[in-house]
Amino acid sequence: MPMKVLDATLSTFQGVFEKFTSEAANNKANLILFLADKDPSTNLSWCPDCVRAEPVIYKKLEASSDNVALLRAYVGDRPTWRNPHHPLRSDSTFKLTGVPTLISWEDGAIKGRLEDHEAHLERKIDTLLSDD
């Protein structure tokens, strides 16, 4: 399936997000996945929920026959993310409370979202994708 993946860090997020939204009309589904950074010593996320959800999300997206764009946005290391003034926690659009968070983006707005406690559930991912 034609899946386009863009990666963004906290410092590059705004520019990558603008590119993502400018190309959004070309895709059947536009998804943003907010993740915790990977620990360089293990190459796994420091967030156990991210480690659990990522493979399930990727499997579902790769199985889709639609054009899907995925923006993976890394929120930082644990101390950065835990800061209550983290830019994505206070962002008026995303209002993140946890990672991973999977968002369906359509027409310049959030159409649906799966929070950290449900982002690994296949049926919820299916519902999010079918709403597009």
Catalytic-residue membership of 63 = no
Cis before residue 48, ω within 30 degrees of 0? no
Q: Which of 29, 31, 50, 53 is catalytic?
A: 50
Q: What is the 3-state secondary structure (H, E, C) of 91-119?
A: CCCCCCCCCCEEEEEECCEEEEEECCCCC
Catalytic-residue membership of 37 = no
Contact (Cβ atoms closer than 8 angstroms) between residue 7 and residue 84 = no
Run of H or E residues at 125: helix 122-130
Q: Which of 29, 36, 47, 103 is catalytic?
A: 47
Could you give the residue numbers annotated as active site?
A: 47, 50
